[in-house]
Amino acid sequence: MKIFNLKTLVVGLFLGLSTFSVADTAKELNHDANMAINTFLDETKGGDAFLVNAKAFLVFPKVQEAGFFVGGKYAEGVLRVKRDTKAYYKMTVASLGFQMGAQEYSLIIAFTSDAALKKFMMDDDEWETDVDGKITIAEWNSKEELDDVDFKDDMVAFVYDTKGLMGSFTMEGTRFEKIKK
């Protein structure tokens, strides 16, 4: 009986996540990505110089997350190389653990090395972070600029413009999959 309830909860959660609004067209997704980049640049000293120096970056304008012991995230985003759109991706995350709440935020993942970008783009339209790579969440204080921060990893993620509340201590796996728009 407990297994049935867990399956019902998981199915319900993912049905709920699937009803979140996502951009319908490439034009809308590019517009949303541009707005998310502008917000990032407004909130982050040195953000523009950092993105210019990055080999490429993924922009997810609206990451939607919810969970109650079992959780998930979903987002659609744009891969930009030298500010030009190269592809569209969706990000799905499943998690299990102590978690409760719902939130929405924007996410930029910057590729700081050619090797990381090549690995991401060459993997048959699908990539999982728990198997193939490590993403560092950027940490800096509001008084320093990003070009003063030493990021040693090949990928750096920036989470910003957060709305809602989510508390968690979980194990999760993240999958990025190329989509056609």
Question: Which string of b and e fits 125-159 if b means at least 16 CB within 10 Å?
Answer: eebebeeebebeebeeeeeeebeeeebeebbbbbe
Question: What pLDDT does residue 27 have?
Answer: 94
Which three-class secondary structure state does DSSP give residue 149?
coil
Residue 166 belongs to domain spanning:
2-179
Q: What is the DSSP letter of 72?
A: E
CA distance 133 to 53: 21
**Rounded to 10 degrees, what is the CA torsion of 17, 21, 22, 25?**
150
Burial of residue 92 (CB within 10 Å: 0-12, 13-18, 19+) is: middle
Number of neighbours of residue 164 by Cβ within 10 angstroms: 12
Cα 173 versus chain centre, distance: 12
**pTM attached to this predicted model:** 0.75
180 burial level (CB within 10 Å; 0-12, 13-18, 19+): exposed
Domain count within the chain: 1
Q: What is the three-class DSSP state of 150?
A: coil
Query: What is residue 141's predicted lDDT score, i.e. its pLDDT?
Result: 47
In this structure, how many other beta carbons lie within 10 angstroms of the beta carbon of residue 107? 23
pLDDT tens per residue, the chain (181 residues)?
Answer: 455 555 555 555 555 554 455 567 999 999 999 999 999 998 888 888 888 889 999 999 999 999 998 999 999 999 999 889 999 999 998 888 888 899 999 999 999 889 888 888 776 555 554 433 455 555 544 455 555 555 567 888 888 888 888 876 767 778 888 888 7
